[in-house]
Amino acid sequence: MRLVLVPTPIGNLEDITLRALRVLREADAVAAEDTRRTRTLLAHYGIETPLVRLDQHTLDRAEAVFAKYPYLAYVTDAGTPGISDPGAELVAWVLARGGEVEALPGPTAFVPALVASGFPVRRFAFEGFLPKKGKERKERIRKIAAEDRAVVLFESPHRLRKTLKELAEALGEEHPVAVARELTKRHEEIFRGTLAGALAHFEVPRGEFVLVLAPPPPRAPDEAELVRRFRDELGLSGQALFGALLAAGLPRNRAYALALK
């Protein structure tokens, strides 16, 4: 039993790797979340591999599918299977039965949105889709507001404005955000501004969205706390104290003045 997760284009059909095309051709069958959408992709590249439906709603068919097709390529509607898409359940099912699982690199919406945002993104949190309503949604937004990293969210057009309003309430209307719409497609757009600005810009949202919330600005170091720690606890003074304050982020003139005291 062999399962290969194959990322597929999120819009532009050229965004598929040669390796992915090879796997789609050589597999015994291609299992898809939506066979209609996948059939269009396969036809575009002249791939005639048998196509079957298999997702979290039809997982009870997995045993019969693998019995007939031991080498299965799995795709979702678009992007990388398992990233806010079906796939994780099938992976767990195969692994529990001692099967082989391989995941190919390839298209996903959040990476282009993240790197094109212009924000510091060395560290980031991926949240995917928020819960639609209730206590769980409020708790997730509260935790996002407390993050010290960039945060990436997926959102649908009919919930975009609601999400922007609730994020503005939690983080402030002037919090920086990048909103990517219809990535890789004809009407691709990336808005960069504030949450309030995004609300004004997307009056009638259309398409699929990725939101990138900027990390909060670094807090200025507490001078008194730094001096107490370095001088009183560590016993530093003079040049050593000056160097420690400088390394902690204080401006050179302030570090020098505090060290002289």
What is residue 244's predicted lDDT score, i.e. its pLDDT? 85
Q: Which mean pLDDT values do the consecutive 10-residue runs of the chain (261 residues) have?
A: 96 95 98 92 96 87 95 94 85 95 94 95 94 93 94 96 96 96 95 97 95 85 78 80 82 82 72
The residue whose two tokens read 């390394």 is 247
Record: fold of 110-213: 3.30.950
The SS3 of residue 71 is strand
The pTM (predicted TM-score) of the whole model is 0.80
What is residue 221's predicted lDDT score, i.e. its pLDDT? 64
Helix H segments across the chain? 18-26, 35-44, 62-68, 88-96, 110-116, 134-145, 160-171, 195-201, 223-227, 238-247, 252-260
Record: fold of 2-103: Cobalt-precorrin-4 Transmethylase; domain 1 (3.40.1010)
**Alpha-carbon distance 21 to 111, whole Å?**
21
Q: Are 107 and 39 in contact (CB under 8 A)?
A: no
What is residue 203's predicted lDDT score, i.e. its pLDDT? 95
Delimit the domains of the chain by residue range.
2-103, 110-213, 223-260
**Alpha-carbon distance 73 to 226, whole Å?**
57
Q: Are 137 and 155 in contact (CB under 8 A)?
A: no
What is residue 251's predicted lDDT score, i.e. its pLDDT? 81
- Would the CA dihedral through 119, 122, 123, 129 be positive or negative? positive
| 194-to-148, 197, 198 alpha-carbon distances in Å | 17, 5, 6
**Alpha-carbon distance 35 to 27, whole Å?**
16
